[in-house]
Structure 1
Amino acid sequence: MKDNHLKETAVKRAAEYREMAGEDPYRLHFHLMPPVGLMNDPNGLVFFQGKYHFFYQWNPFETAHGVKFWGHYVSDNLVYWEEAPVALAPDQWYDRNGCYSGSAVVHEDQMYIFYTGNVRNDAGERESYQCMAVSEDGVQFDKKGPVINVPDGYTAHFRDPKVFKKGPRWYMVVGAQTVEEKGEVVLFSSDDLETWSFQGTLAGSDRSGLGSFGYMWECPDFFELNGEDILLVSPQGLEPNGILYNNVYQSGYFAGKADLERVSYPHGGFTELDRGFDFYAPQTMLDGNGRRLLVGWMGSADEGSTSHPTTHHGWVHAMTIPRVLEWENGRLLQQPAEELKQLRGNNREYRDVLVTDQQSFELPSSRDNVFELQVQVKSWDAASFSLTIGTNNQLIYREATKTFTLERANFEKPNVVERRHCALDELKEIRVFKDTSSLEIFLNGGEEVFTARVYDEAYDQLVSFHAEGDLKMDVAKWDLGRILL
């Protein structure tokens, strides 16, 4: 069968280049990444038969976007992961140019996955189909083919189905572009997961007081959290606005109250989920404990993948750590999953550390560049505070402007400093997850988050603290272990 042949070809490719990838000092320790090739959007996050299943967009043949498979990882505990067989290969007429992003649900002890089949017809024109496949064991999938074609009024940029259940009915949100080239999220409903009816536009440009807001909305996700209806989406085509929207494409959320029967969703403004350089296409799931977990792609949709030094070892991109979402005081908070504490070792704690104009503080020198760092501010009488990690990465808070800034060196031009910012009324806590080639920074219990790929040498991992004024803090640091079994 063609499906098996394509999967075998992908597995053979991974085997041939796995050793080369494994020799890369920038291979991550506690993040999911591709065995070889390119990884992008997280797909099909689901808790099924007692296990966490994580699928992802995968091009095993090169470190560039091309024909996509669905790669697959499985975990018992959200900490340690095993590679599972390739889930989907682009082997049918309706997905021959790529099994694009989608989602998974559990129904009657079967896993149903929905994805976009990407096709280039003989004239070179794009076609897209929302497709379904079913599995009894979460490993082997039986493709059922298209369940939705593109409705009238939309272009073939119509993709990324996210399916969820509310009451007795199933719903699907899909990212879309209208023929007027405006981004939307549209809604379908079904009683049986097989026959779907188009309900209309749930949200988009020129709706709910939003105005013009991008030419395409990708990777929607819709869920209820603490009484609020949250729509995650990745709009394309937003212009930079001060410290907002500074990446090529953005990912963020709307919050409001939805009426899915009447297809009504009045909502507030758009809030970016992550203020860093490398975060896109997030997806969420409910786990067995009822938590809403989020994972994002640690990449950028239009970024030149060749700029990453990992491409020299035959791989590129990764995923964020799993984050628990909470809705508090009108905002979405993101916190690292508690399970990640199982990776900790070699704890070092420093109490009541004083940093002043004349007195900086440095952690003991270490060649280790994989760690978790926590900083609790106990007293503040300073104009600014900075935390330096390695030689190229700085975290800076400025009291006068109430802004937090992340600085890193450009991948291709190390002498060029890049910056991302967020507004922050006060700095109370910093939690940093530093992997071999990534940073994830959580501020004030997850009020703001920064994600970035960074490429430092292990011997550059000096961690130092500086202040203009007086600041007292508690500092804790742990080494972190590996997650891939």
Structure 2
Amino acid sequence: MYIIMIRKFFFVFFLLSVTVFVFAKDTYPASKLPQRVYPSTLDEQLKVLKDDPQVKFFNQNRVKLGKDPYRPIYHFSSPESILHDPNGLCFWQGKWHLFYQYIPAKDYRQHWGHAVSDDLIHWIDLPVALYPVPENMVYSGATFVEEGRVVAMYNGVGIGTMVAVSSDPLLLNWEKIAIPALTNIDKSGNRLPFSVGDANIWKIDDTYYSVTGGGRKATGPGGLRMRESWLFSSKDLVNWTPRHEFMVNERFLLPGDDAACPYFWPIGNQYIFFLYSHMTGGQYLIGDYDKEKQLFYPKQHGKSNFMSFLPGGVHAPSAYPDGDGGVVVLYNMHQGTKTPGWRGITTLPRRFSMTPEQKLRIEPYGNYKSLRTKSVSIAKKKLHANKEIILPEIKGNAYELIIEVDVKESPMFELNILRSPEKEEFTSIKFFKDRGFPLDRLDSNLKGRFQSIVSVETAYSSILPDVKSRAPEIAPVVLEKDEKLKLHVFVDKSVVEVFVNDKQAISVRVYPGREDSHGISLRSQGGDAELISLNFWQMKSIYNELKNDFILSNTAN
């Protein structure tokens, strides 16, 4: 029943986000949360924030919610009530800013919550950035940093796609300058032949561009509904011109997929288009961008979620360039059971970049190493076939683990985590060497080579009856001929994130019901393998350091 209710909730809100303009009202009630105008200098802002009621409430609530056994200690989570899509990740005056759909208990509508960080790991709550006025809800969008200000473009439910700007040091004060910037209803009330909704934004020379997501058209086989991504342009952020469908020959997404929560940024000498499908979750497209014709030609496709996003899967992205040719992205994740008083977390930040050979690299990013405390290392060890090896020297439910294995000819290597002593509960990470598709189907030079497969399986992660496990997350990864398997694993109470050779990443939610489900074991099935190295670190909380104080260095670059 719980999962059905969740699906109904998101289905209703998805319909609202796509079709709301047909039924738009002239006005909507103002937010029930108190709003204030903040000073314009950093010193004055820091002084005011020490006693800010919202900041105090968030910090106090984090202490209260910290007692929940499933609440992560080093992943960003909702300070109260619901955290939904992350939005508008950006780097401004030396600091990272994260906005997100915040649904407060006092006003059950989307606002833009706000947090700031020096290192993408230690996040500090700031007051709400955008309130639903005059729109009914502040839905997803992106930001663009230009000289002297940050521009936010987002889906203002009931009004249209909105534009707001801010220029103060901590981005506390926002002015909505286009209400709306985009709509799919003309002056006569007729619906225009494109959808508007979640928006991203970038600029070339003196022109702003935006692609909106969430729409679908019956252009697929048999009239099935396919993704629609319409391009718009503007000289002044207020007056926008609809251009055309942005993607050419995009054949990767499935019928039923949409491209909500779009982000479009350069990556190496190509471009990457992050998106969220309300059917299949977070995905990305990589290809060429023709700046003269303003068209995107996708050539490569990947997923950040390999099944439905419910339950316990990866949802929407928020992405921004790292300044060195890569793109930083994080996602929100859904729950797999009820957690009283709060809902919603983000993944750790990931850096997407291209190698000199133009191969995609996906790696954890941010200053996560600063969270390492107690460490344990295990040297080389032979893994005899068909025997599970329990590692009694390492255990926990909030840690980082890096393991390198020579799987040799073993058809399957398994890492079990969050394992109870008698294995009533465990989460399984499996690697199947050369068990995927033949690579020469795409490149004749790769004859005789195959994809390998990594899976994360949560069917036995919990014995609790109200926890909904996911079907196995199954993802392809291509290792070179003599490349060893390297798993980089982050466990954080109810979160498991697995990075495979910096080429693939899988994230899931888990909810062990036993207090002793902290163990770790290894197994090589069908043949011997060799453990080359294993490094383990307990991780400390990013929130215990905050206590009830507002801590932020008084610097602005």
TM-score after normalising by structure 2: 0.73
Alignment of 1:79-158 (within 5 A): 79-92=121-134, 95-96=135-136, 98-119=137-158, 128-137=160-169, 138-144=171-177, 145-150=179-184, 158=196
Contact preservation (8 Å) 2:166, 2:172:
no
State the match for 2:498 in structure 1.
441
Alignment of 1:193-342 (within 5 A): 193-203=237-247, 207-209=249-251, 213-214=255-256, 216-236=258-278, 248-275=279-306, 278-287=313-322, 291-299=326-334, 307-310=336-339, 313-328=340-355, 329-342=357-370
Deviation at 1:330, TM superposition (A): 5.0
The alignment partner of 1:459 has SS state of coil
Choose 129-138 or 414-423, whichever is displaced more.
414-423
The alignment partner of 2:507 has SS state of strand
State the match for 1:28 in structure 2.
72
Q: Unmatched 5+ residue regions in structure 1?
A: 120-126, 237-247, 300-304
Structure 1 letter corresponding to 2:457 = E
Contact preservation (8 Å) 1:128, 1:158:
yes
State the match for 1:160 in structure 2.
198
Query: Matched residues in 2 for 1:13 and 1:155: separation?
Result: 45
State the match for 2:26 in structure 1.
none
Report the structure, 1 or 2, having the larger strand content. 1
Distance 1:362 1:7, change over 3 A: farther
The alignment partner of 1:342 has SS state of helix
The alignment partner of 1:380 has SS state of coil
Deviation at 1:374, TM superposition (A): 0.6
State the match for 1:431 in structure 2.
488
Q: Unmatched 5+ residue regions in structure 2?
A: 1-28, 37-52, 219-224, 419-424, 436-451, 547-557
Query: Matched residues in 1 for 2:406 and 2:537: separation?
Result: 20
Structure 2 letter corresponding to 1:169 = T
Structure 2 letter corresponding to 1:162 = N
Deviation at 1:481, TM superposition (A): 1.8
Provide the alpha-carbon RMSD of the alignment. Answer: 3.0
Query: Matched residues in 2 for 1:79 and 1:235: separation?
Result: 26
Q: How many residues align?
A: 450
Query: 1:406 and 2:466 equivalent?
Result: no
Contact preservation (8 Å) 1:31, 1:319:
yes
Structure 2 letter corresponding to 1:394 = S
Query: 1:420 and 2:473 equivalent?
Result: yes
Contact preservation (8 Å) 2:120, 2:366:
no
Deviation at 1:268, TM superposition (A): 2.4
State the match for 1:189 in structure 2.
233
Contact preservation (8 Å) 2:160, 2:181:
no
Structure 2 letter corresponding to 1:398 = F
State the match for 1:346 in structure 2.
374
Question: Which of residues 206, 211, 217 in structure 2 aligns to 1:173?
Answer: 211
Distance 1:14 1:25, change over 3 A: same
Distance 1:424 1:19, change over 3 A: closer
Alignment of 1:460-479 (within 5 A): 460-468=517-525, 469-473=527-531, 474-479=533-538
TM-score after normalising by structure 1: 0.84
Structure 2 letter corresponding to 1:309 = K
Alignment of 1:319-398 (within 5 A): 319-328=346-355, 329-357=357-385, 359-364=387-392, 368-378=396-406, 380-390=408-418, 391-398=425-432
Q: Mark the structure with the bigger radius of gyration.
A: 2
Deviation at 1:77, TM superposition (A): 2.3
Alignment of 1:33-72 (within 5 A): 33-61=77-105, 67-72=109-114
The alignment partner of 1:371 has SS state of strand
Deviation at 1:196, TM superposition (A): 2.3
Deviation at 1:15, TM superposition (A): 7.9
Query: Matched residues in 1 for 2:138 and 2:468: separation?
Result: 39
Question: Which of residues 118, 125, 128 in structure 2 aligns to 1:76?
Answer: 118
